[in-house]
Amino acid sequence: KAGVTQTPRYLIKTRGQQVTLSCSPISGHRSVSWYQQTPGQGLQFLFEYFSETQRNKGNFPGRFSGRQFSNSRSEMNVSTLELGDSALYLCASSAGTLASTDTQYFGPGTRLTVL
Amino acid sequence: SQQGEEDPQALSIQEGENATMNCSYKTSINNLQWYRQNSGRGLVHLILIRSNEREKHSGRLRVTLDTSKKSSSLLITASRAADTASYFCATGSSPGTASKLTFGTGTRLQVTL
């Protein structure tokens, strides 16, 4: 079974631009979560989508948004980029049952650099 | 902000030795998971322990969970150079937000030959 894939793997943008990242979950998984990893703040939860609906949300500004398609693929968008948005963005997929055994499997990440 | 702290922040051992990492968290949990990350890449899932379990094994890995102390430990036995990585614990809280993992600060493990 193929793992979680993320595209692109690397991205360089300038301040003020916007960016869209893509995530394809493991086949059969209905939940996709996004995380931001920075040296200063570590790994932080952005949001989770399940069956095309946002089910959980972290403490990030509205510039960060996402969506999920009917095939469970998800996109994350960041508008008006700031230098502090430079990070590794990780996507995770799971069955989404919220059971105590529901495991999240992560993709390789997208490294975003904002200049 | 992160919920958990991991201890130690960095650990250097020789191949063949055991490595123990500790994780503490603040709120009640549904489960606790351990992940490995190699040099800024994606996270690899290692093991999941439910809140009603006290110990779990997987190959060379042993995880314990003490919910009364809100702490967990990961033991890697007979370490190898390939175990060199950062290790993170992550907690899922109530069932409704179990998918919202809260990560610890991580332990950087260096295994030398």
The one-digit pLDDT tens for each residue of chain A (115 residues) are 689 999 999 999 999 999 999 999 999 999 999 999 999 899 999 999 999 999 999 999 999 999 999 999 999 999 999 999 999 999 999 988 877 778 899 999 999 999 9
- pLDDT given for residue A111 in this prediction: 97
Contacts of A44 in chain B (CB under 8 A): 1-2, 103
- pLDDT given for residue B92 in this prediction: 85
> Chain B interface, mutation test: which of A23, A98, A110, A112, most B Cβ atoms within 10 Å?
A98
Cβ A104–B99 below 8 Å, yes or no? Answer: yes
Most confident residue range from B21-30, B74-83, B86-95: B74-83
- pLDDT given for residue B5 in this prediction: 83
Taking the C-alpha atoms of residue B22 and residue B8, their distance in angstroms, rounded to an integer, is: 7
CA-based nearest distance A26→chain B, Å:
14
CA-based nearest distance A100→chain B, Å:
6
Cβ A33–B99 below 8 Å, yes or no? Answer: yes
Q: Which residues contact B23 (CB under 8 A, 6 or more apart)?
A: B4, B5, B6, B7, B32, B34, B71, B72, B73, B74, B89, B104
| pLDDT band at B1; cut points 50, 70, 90 | very low
- pLDDT given for residue B110 in this prediction: 97
Contacts of B48 in chain A (CB under 8 A): 101, 103
- pLDDT given for residue B55 in this prediction: 98
Strands (E), chain B: 5-7, 10-14, 19-24, 31-37, 43-50, 55-58, 61-66, 71-76, 85-92, 102-103, 107-112
Average pLDDT, chain B: 91
| pLDDT band at B95; cut points 50, 70, 90 | low
Taking the C-alpha atoms of residue B10 and residue A48, their distance in angstroms, rounded to an integer, is: 31
- pLDDT given for residue B3 in this prediction: 59
Taking the C-alpha atoms of residue B97 and residue A56, their distance in angstroms, rounded to an integer, is: 7
Nearest partner of B102 among B31, B41, B17, B7, judged by Cα: B31
